[in-house]
Amino acid sequence: MVPPTASNYYHVLVGEEEIRTRIESLADEILAMPHRPDMAAVVLAGAFVFAADLLRALARKGLSLPCEFLWLSSYGAGRSGAEAVTVRAGAGAAVKGRHVLVMDDICDSGRTLAKACALLRAAGAQAVATAVAVERGRSDAVMTADFAAFRGLEGFLVGYGLDDAGGARSLPFIARVD
């Protein structure tokens, strides 16, 4: 149920149950990869909610992945992405020789996802695949995700890890700010 205080400000696009169901099927899609990942790289801060759910779904299906964390930023406190992606913490030596699954909250321009993949390859990852909670599907994106829980959602999105200047990440649904 949507909290009453959110209903006047947010337009819910994807509810809790739909998210839960989709994450389970996304785990099945990832498990069908020819070369299963043997490590996850979670892009902070936005991907922590999505990653936690997806990692647990994969573990329930028999694939428990160790995690590396990347801290990248392209939005800052604004509502539009910057041209440059800031690296606050990059990949460590643990990714060397691994098949890494990058997990991020959103693929909008694709710049953050491309930066994460480049960092992992530079650190020696053998292969890199990507999974996001939301992919916009922009025609001008520099990169698209290999896997996306939801595609083509429009507007400024919050909830399920997506934020508005650091707020609204903990909402249990994905919503558009009205």
**Distance, CA of 56 to CA of 74 (rounded, Å):** 27
Question: Residue 108 catalytic?
Answer: yes
**Distance, CA of 176 to CA of 11 (rounded, Å):** 5
pLDDT at 88: 42
CATH of domain 4-73+87-177: 3.40.50.2020
Strand partners, 67: 40
Q: What is the pLDDT of residues 59-95, one digit of tens each?
A: 999 999 998 888 766 654 444 454 554 444 456 667 7
Concatenating the DSSP letter of every residue in 40-86 gives: EEEEETTTHHHHHHHHHHHHHTT----EEEEEEES-TTSSS--SSPE
Q: What is the pLDDT of residues 38-56, one digit of tens each?
A: 989 888 877 889 999 999 9
**Distance, CA of 33 to CA of 80 (rounded, Å):** 33
- Which residue is catalytic, options 53, 104, 108, 164? 108
Q: Where are the chain's structural domains?
A: 4-73+87-177
Do 163 and 127 meet the contact criterion of CB atoms below 8 Å apart? no
